[in-house]
Amino acid sequence: MAPRRRFAGDPAADWRDDAAYAPLRHADRYFFAWEWLRRDPAYGEAAASDADPAQFGLAQYVAPATPVPAARPIWLRPLLPAVFRCRLRAGDASQVFAALPWSRAEVWKPGCVHYLLSDGLGAVRVDVLEGRFPSQGSELVFEVEGPAGLADQLPQLERLRRLLRHETPSRRVSARSARWIAALRVHDALAAGARYREIAAILFGDQVVGPRWWLDTPSWGLRVQRLAAAANRALKAGPASWLGSADAPLQARGSR
């Protein structure tokens, strides 16, 4: 019997440190899903046991203390609709994946190899149903699902096309990232025992927390309160709400 793996470390970042959250400004939803999952106590307990990682939509466990951009979570279908499935076919075309701009992570399963192409901030997921990534003289035959799956897969197909041309795929920074990061910081602050006044001072500046701050400037306290509620929703919603929907959980009313 294989020894049980133990993952140690606190999944939360130092909420007072802007730099600890800076990489997330350029991360896509793929990795925000991971940041929330690694903060889930149930995930931490399961990752230290022999439980199946598929219950969290993962091909394998990633240590909860691993932050973006170091983490390489490999999300599974159907949790992540934008996963390409393909097969290998001998042919004249050459598809060489060994020297792409992004690194490669892989997990072998019976009849399938799950691949993640990523720079730690953006990702392309590919499932090869037969064999490994191709070498010279082989080609990939993709299965693109439609019409419902096209909306998820076409943007990723363009990203993969650019990778195959050894180009760095363009990345659109979400205008919502600042709110998503603020919710993460509030979650981490509350987990560390911080009070709303201290959180408001760190996130928005000392000038907003005078002696009668809750009475004189209640909007700042309410803003922290809304972010705390949004963080609670995100933690409960789980990765599916980030990976399988056009709307992230923090976009609910009152999360601004």
pLDDT of residue 254: 40
Residue 210: predicted pLDDT: 85
At 148, give phi and psi (nearest 5°).
Answer: -65, -40
In this prediction, residue 247 has a pLDDT band, given cuts at 50, 70 and 90, of: low
Residues forming a β-bridge with 118: 103, 123
Which of 80-89, 119-128, 232-241 has the lowest average pLDDT?
A: 80-89
Report the candidate in 74, 5, 82, 76 with the shortest Cα–Cα distance to residue 34.
74
**pLDDT, tens only, 19-64:** 999 999 999 999 999 999 999 999 999 999 989 999 999 999 999 9
Model confidence band, residue 15 (pLDDT cutoffs 50, 70, 90) = very high
pLDDT of residue 229: 96
State pLDDT tens for residues 62-78. Answer: 999 999 999 999 999 98
Q: pTM of the full predicted structure?
A: 0.87
Q: What is the pLDDT of residues 164-215, one digit of tens each?
A: 787 877 766 677 899 999 999 999 999 999 999 999 999 999 988 888 888 8
Q: How far, in Å, CA of 54 to CA of 186, rounded?
A: 29
Tens digit of each residue's pLDDT (9 = 90 or more) over 207-238:
888 888 888 888 999 999 999 999 999 999 99
CA-wise closest residue to 44 among 253, 235, 185, 245: 235
Q: Quick one: tokens of 34?
A: 């991971």
CA 250 to CA 245: how far, in whole Å?
A: 12
d(CA 180, CA 227): 9
For residue 178, what pLDDT is reported?
93
